[in-house]
Structure 1
Amino acid sequence: MDATYIDYAETGSFSPTVVNYLKNDESLKPFYGFRPDLDGFRQLLQHKKNTCKRSILIEVLNAQYKKLPVKEVSDLTRTYLDLLNRENTFTVTTGHQLNIFTGPLYFIFKIVTAINLAKDLKIEFPDKNFVPVYWMASEDHDFVEINHTQIGGKKIAWNEEVSGATGRVLTKGIREALNQYKGILGIVEHADELSEFVETAYAKFEKLADATRYLVNALFARFGLIIIDADDPRLKKEFAPIIESDIINQNSFKNISETNEKLEKAGVHIQVNPREINFFYLLKEVRERLVFEEHRYKVLNTAISFSEEELKTEIADFPERFSPNVVMRPLYQEVILPNIAYIGGGAEVVYWMELKSNFDFYKVDFPILILRNSGLIVSKRSAEKAANMGLTLTDFFQTTNILKNDWIQVNSQNQLQLSGFQQELNAVFSRLKLHNIKIDPTLGPSTEAIQKRLEHAVFNLEKKLLKAEKRNYQVRLNQIDQIKAELFPGGNLQERNENFGLFYVKLGSKLIDGLIANFKPLDFKFTILTE
């Protein structure tokens, strides 16, 4: 694939806060640690505290990888698992929910960014090791956010009533959605390969977390990607002291609320708001909020409650029953991993900025925040159509109406802008006004009013001329609609809507290779990839 790079600001699709972060805006500096560049990593590595229990981390990861067939675990993955035992090995982490069939394209883009950043850091710091990690958001309970995907403009949904952590959801009810997805993939080119991946993932593995691990590993094992499910009692035990302190003292609520006030004053749109207690209580099919009411810690929508002493005992004996919410999950991640970078989308980068003071409070290193690579995959046919019309692919980031109007203005053989005629009319009315004022000074305003009405009439006539010329070029303008629909399905960036499936059917593993070859994590450019 050929790559073209443009600034994120040029896309019009990213928040001012993210753009300002990349520009090193002074007002945002209090809300993160080191800059997202090689010098920032150099500084962080000099200050990094190795506090995670590597032996426990390796124990958990090895147990989880035993759930995969031995032949599916690559040699590079095994090498990275061994390297995690060493104090000079660090992780580069991205995380996401367990979207079925991987969800939108940016799921894939996140992981590629992590893989590439780990490679780039190894080149810059050869005496250290860097391992790419995908953190499965297996404790998330919002099933309706992950139970569907868009592929080829069609929505595939897994319609089932479930509760509790999504990683524990049984896959037995996904068969209808699985068949629909495979049906859209078809039987050509690399469809069989991807069909086998998803069939094995969702039909051979009982739980959604295990199915997701298989599918992601099938796509990325050759790059050594480590996949972690943090829904594990051994890992939660490492986090237990913070769980207890935060629930009882409500530290995160105080710290993050104060930070959010400062961010709002800096003009930042707040992404998440903390609660007084930022943990859920987690059982087999239950993930409900903990609240403090009437001097007891209660689990909403259940009869479960604890005194303070009972709560401390419960955390000590069953730490796995306490699940961090969106503002505490990042802290949990950084406690159990030797992590130096978190890769997320624009909204994630902003909400991590809300958390810096809480990391400082608990004396946990804050990772460098990396905006994931974003991209657009353009078919050869659409690229050729755009070129034949004299359009660049970056032109398509404009609205359809502006794009069409500009194209008509450039390509029409007729004069569609009446500004020249308007100037002549204005000159006539200037003379007419002088003439009328000599006769009766009160006629000046009347003449100006007539002039304004005529200006408005000329403006409307110009719009009619443009509309008429559009009809003359309707076939060409329809091509703009077709290209726009491919690049911005549903009016959004392709990566936020479309699944990777049909691209994989066409390109196979070369799709991933193309992303690996062209995504540059620390350049912070939007990537347009053309077949």
Structure 2
Amino acid sequence: MRQLETGYSKWLDYIGMDELGARAEELQGRPFTHLPELVKVLREQQAIHGPISPVLESKLDALADGEAFTMVTGQQVGVFGGPLFAVYKLLTVLKRAKQAEIKLKKPVIPIFWMATEDHDYAEINHVFVRQPLSRQLRKEALSTVPLAGKASVGELEFDRLKIELVQMLQRLLLSEAETAYTTMLYPELIDLIQASHSFAEFFGRMMRRFVGEDFILFDPHQPAVRALGRDMFKRLITDHDRLNTALHDAFEDGMPHVELNREAAHLFYHDGTRELLTKQDGLFTTKRGHRFTEAELIRQVETYPERFSNNVVSRPLMQDFLFPTLAYIAGPGEIAYWLQLRPLFHVFDWKMPLVIARLGAVLVSANDEKKLAQEGVTLIDYLMEPLPDHAFDEEEFDQSLYAYRTLTEVIGREAGKHGHRFDAKARHVLERLADEMRVEAKRDQYRLNSRRIHLSTRLLPMDAPQERIWSMVPLMNRHGLDLFKRLYDVYEQTEVERCLVKL
């Protein structure tokens, strides 16, 4: 957040939570006439994922009346909740929405925008699993399904993968030590798998069950949502040239580098698969040969809004059209491209919402702390410079046996004075003893490496932050099914961007 408010401030319309009031005033000057219908859709969607709290129900009433604001975050709908940073984004939006309510004295609803319009199946179909005696975690991935990588995730078959998901869960838990929580966690997750009929449902049910009831799970990949976005789709088409000019000129020195398609029309057209629209010589075209004039494309939107969806550039604009959005909670990669989007908001005479960095965490158990102490390093030192494996040096071990080898020679010669067979037998016994010493030395090395492998996989898995590798399941198996509700309590008490959580 500090980097956003200092180094990147000139590319933001609002800087930090102190400017919430100014953003709220701007939103109150904009019409959101579709809110009653949007709230109806939100309620229908929540019924799929599980009940929401009475407090959130009343906030939805306020939103329908234009008397509430929203804060939004989002992520792809990874199996078993995806990487931990998805949960951290959700916990952050809960925290910031609560702070905004206190400041503005109006209801603020946390929204989690599930990226069901995304097509990247490889991003959502896997978890990482520990392997014995290895720092490397194994990627457990679901098999492919028809149209994977071509159609939106919201269109992919889910039910055919349920057996694979159960098997994935079994392998995930078998790679962990059984705990007092395992026998409770396993049947709950099985029930969630069986009750779900899409990746969005499974993800949403995970978040509702294990994080809480005070946020909205929003699925944009539904006909009713596309119909509500009809007017925005039209504006993206009619203002295409102005938007593309703004995006072409958006990057400035000092911005973090990120690849954005600056030639696209920033809309997808759905006709069995998802096709990106581009504009060439006055026509909107796709690679599969669709060709539309602007008027023809507008008629398509008017008649078939479900055939259109947003890309990474237009999604934030659609978000700002649908919701009275105070702020977006972003990860580092998202911040990089959001900084280039401000001129696009200005095309519509809007300002860009606050962009707020998500919070993170370092989760450390008592066992982790014990092993760090045994290694004589602090957590900070370890995260800065992880400890490598102890290598077993055969040559060094052989050198350590020099005196023993000398003694073996002496004993062999003395025994040989009584016959050759005594020389051979003495040498055989002593060599076998040397082999046993070598085995024991390797056992000692294994014990040392086992400790270091534990620290590596728990604290810095595959040399990456925990939140990018671990999923919710192993953590709940170790520390309880209420872990992420407890973690929210920690978030409530801190403003540290990456807080230490002792479990």
Q: What is the TM-score when the length of structure 2 is the normalising length?
A: 0.79
Question: How far 1:391 moved relative to its partner?
Answer: 2.3
CA distance in 2 between counterparts of 1:33 and 1:91 reads 18
Equivalent of 2:87, from 102, 108, 113?
108
CA distance in 1 between counterparts of 2:78 and 2:49 reads 19
Q: Which amino acid is 1:487 matched to?
A: L
Cα deviation, 1:122-159, whole Å, max 9, x if unaligned, reads: 2333x211111111111111111111121443422111
Cα deviation, 1:438-470, whole Å, max 9, x if unaligned, reads: xxxxxxxxxxxxxxxxxxxxxxxxxxxxxxxxx
Q: State whether residues 138 and 230 of structure 1, in contact with CA within 8 Å, keep that contact through their aligned partners in structure 2.
A: yes
Question: How far 1:350 moved relative to its partner?
Answer: 1.7
The match for 1:132 is: 110
Q: State whether residues 154 and 198 of structure 2, in contact with CA within 8 Å, keep that contact through their aligned partners in structure 1.
A: yes
Secondary structure of residue in 1 paired with 2:326: strand
CA distance in 2 between counterparts of 1:159 and 1:520 reads 39
CA distance in 2 between counterparts of 1:342 and 1:234 reads 23
Q: State whether residues 77 and 116 of structure 2, in contact with CA within 8 Å, keep that contact through their aligned partners in structure 1.
A: yes
More divergent stretch after superposition (270-279 vs 513-522): 513-522
Question: How far 1:305 moved relative to its partner?
Answer: 2.9
Say whether 1:146 aligns with 2:124: yes
Q: Which amino acid is 2:475 matched to?
A: F
Within a 5 Å distance, the mapping from 1:289-368 to structure 2 comes to: 289-293=276-280, 296-301=283-288, 303-368=289-354
CA distance in 1 between counterparts of 2:350 and 2:188 reads 38
CA distance in 2 between counterparts of 1:475 and 1:508 reads 28
Q: State whether residues 156 and 181 of structure 1, in contact with CA within 8 Å, keep that contact through their aligned partners in structure 2.
A: yes
Q: What is the TM-score when the length of structure 1 is the normalising length?
A: 0.75
CA distance in 2 between counterparts of 1:86 and 1:295 reads 41
Say whether 1:201 aligns with 2:207: no
Question: How far 1:512 moved relative to its partner?
Answer: 1.2
Secondary structure of residue in 2 paired with 1:343: strand
The match for 2:466 is: 494
Q: Which amino acid is 2:156 matched to?
A: V
CA distance in 1 between counterparts of 2:349 and 2:181 reads 49
Secondary structure of residue in 2 paired with 1:278: strand
Q: Which amino acid is 2:16 matched to?
A: P
Q: Which runs of 5+ in 1 are unaligned?
A: 1-17, 405-471
Q: Which amino acid is 1:379 matched to?
A: S
Say whether 1:219 aligns with 2:200: no
RMSD: 2.8
The match for 2:435 is: none
The match for 2:141 is: 157
CA distance in 2 between counterparts of 1:229 and 1:275 reads 27
Cα deviation, 1:285-342, whole Å, max 9, x if unaligned, reads: 41111133465322323x5332332211101111221111001111111110111111
Within a 5 Å distance, the mapping from 1:97-496 to structure 2 comes to: 97-125=76-104, 127-152=105-130, 153-163=137-147, 164-183=151-170, 184-185=172-173, 188-222=179-213, 224-248=214-238, 249-260=240-251, 262=252, 265-283=253-271, 285-293=272-280, 296-301=283-288, 303-400=289-386, 479-496=451-468
CA distance in 2 between counterparts of 1:135 and 1:530 reads 30
Sequence identity of aligned pairs in percent? 23
Q: Which runs of 5+ in 2 are unaligned?
A: 131-136, 391-443
CA distance in 2 between counterparts of 1:371 and 1:318 reads 36
The match for 1:62 is: 43
Q: State whether residues 106 and 374 of structure 1, in contact with CA within 8 Å, keep that contact through their aligned partners in structure 2.
A: yes
The match for 1:416 is: none
The match for 1:31 is: 11
Q: Which amino acid is 1:364 matched to?
A: W
CA distance in 1 between counterparts of 2:138 and 2:258 reads 32
Q: State whether residues 92 and 359 of structure 2, in contact with CA within 8 Å, keep that contact through their aligned partners in structure 1.
A: yes
Question: How far 1:478 moved relative to its partner?
Answer: 6.3
CA distance in 2 between counterparts of 1:133 and 1:123 reads 18
Q: Which amino acid is 2:4 matched to?
A: Y
CA distance in 2 between counterparts of 1:206 and 1:509 reads 23
Q: Which amino acid is 1:299 matched to?
A: T
Q: Which amino acid is 1:21 matched to?
A: L
Q: State whether residues 291 and 298 of structure 1, in contact with CA within 8 Å, keep that contact through their aligned partners in structure 2.
A: yes
Question: How far 1:77 moved relative to its partner?
Answer: 3.7
The match for 1:436 is: none
Question: How far 1:228 moved relative to its partner?
Answer: 0.9
Q: State whether residues 252 and 274 of structure 1, in contact with CA within 8 Å, keep that contact through their aligned partners in structure 2.
A: no
Say whether 1:85 aligns with 2:69: no
Q: State whether residues 115 and 219 of structure 2, in contact with CA within 8 Å, keep that contact through their aligned partners in structure 1.
A: yes
Secondary structure of residue in 2 paired with 1:140: coil
Secondary structure of residue in 2 paired with 1:66: helix
Q: State whether residues 237 and 298 of structure 2, in contact with CA within 8 Å, keep that contact through their aligned partners in structure 1.
A: no
Question: Cα distance 1:304–1:517, how it changes in 2: closer, same or farther (>3 A)?
Answer: same
CA distance in 2 between counterparts of 1:245 and 1:357 reads 15
CA distance in 2 between counterparts of 1:62 and 1:490 reads 41
Q: Which amino acid is 1:168 matched to?
A: E
Q: Which amino acid is 1:158 matched to?
A: L
Q: State whether residues 80 and 202 of structure 2, in contact with CA within 8 Å, keep that contact through their aligned partners in structure 1.
A: no
Q: State whether residues 280 and 289 of structure 1, in contact with CA within 8 Å, keep that contact through their aligned partners in structure 2.
A: yes
CA distance in 2 between counterparts of 1:185 and 1:474 reads 24
Question: How far 1:522 moved relative to its partner?
Answer: 8.0
Q: State whether residues 396 and 403 of structure 1, in contact with CA within 8 Å, keep that contact through their aligned partners in structure 2.
A: no
The match for 1:443 is: none
The match for 1:512 is: 484
CA distance in 1 between counterparts of 2:341 and 2:236 reads 14
Secondary structure of residue in 2 paired with 1:108: helix
Matched pairs, number: 435
Cα deviation, 1:193-225, whole Å, max 9, x if unaligned, reads: 443443333323322223322222222343x11
Question: Cα distance 1:238–1:337, how it changes in 2: closer, same or farther (>3 A)?
Answer: same
The match for 2:416 is: none
